[in-house]
């Protein structure tokens, strides 16, 4: 699949980074506002899809190796399960960092506040792990759909071998 025009690619290069930053914002602030790891991960995967469509597969695969998305997926899964097992002295996914001080356990002040990022204990860490998992998984799905579409457009037969 050929890349799109220079105008579309330039606008994509500018706009795509805002999409990625917004996705990271949604992941990080998921415990304070609507959103979270899944929604933010889907937004970041949209960033990958935008670059893939605007620049074409050949140029995209020069920049990005497929193994990075598999690594994101595995790291997110291992981190989430690890967070779940760390609180296992009580229950699975127990919020063992809440109100303990330190990096993710500071107490929330009484009254209106803009939201303290490190007030949620393990919830913020779990959101980040889910975000990594969704970025890896959804980006892999998008890339394989792109590769399948490219195969069909270049003259490959649709369907599986069982369709004969």
pLDDT, average across residues 116-134: 83
* pLDDT 10s digits, 18-40: 999 999 999 988 877 788 889 99
- In this structure, of 29-33, 128-132, 160-164, the range with the lowest mean pLDDT score is 160-164
Question: What average pLDDT does range 60-86 have in this prediction?
Answer: 89
Whether 102 has a pLDDT exceeding 70, the answer reads: no
| Mean residue pLDDT across the chain | 81
Q: What predicted TM-score, i.e. pTM, was given to this entire model?
A: 0.78
18 C-beta neighbours (distance < 10 Å), count: 10
pLDDT of 4 reads 75
For residue 107, how many C-alpha atoms fall within 13 Å in the half-sphere facing its CB? 5
């Amino acid at each position: 699949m050929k890349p799109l025009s220079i105008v579309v690619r330039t606008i994509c290069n500018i706009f795509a980074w805002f999409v990625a930053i917004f996705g990271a914002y949604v992941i990080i602030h998921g415990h304070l506002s609507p959103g979270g790891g899944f929604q933010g991960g889907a937004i970041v995967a949209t960033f990958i899809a935008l670059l893939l469509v605007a620049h074409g597969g050949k140029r995209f695969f020069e920049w990005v190796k497929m193994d990075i998305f598999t690594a994101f997926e595995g790291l997110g899964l291992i981190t989430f399960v690890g967070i779940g097992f760390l609180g296992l002295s009580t229950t699975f996914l127990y919020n063992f960092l809440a109100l303990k001080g330190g990096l993710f356990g500071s107490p929330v002040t009484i009254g209106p506040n803009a939201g303290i990022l490190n007030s949620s204990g393990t919830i913020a860490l779990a959101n980040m792990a889910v975000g990594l998992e969704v970025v890896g998984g959804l980006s892999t799905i998008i890339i394989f759909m792109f590769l399948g579409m490219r195969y069909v457009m270049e003259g490959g037969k649709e369907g599986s071998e069982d369709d004969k």
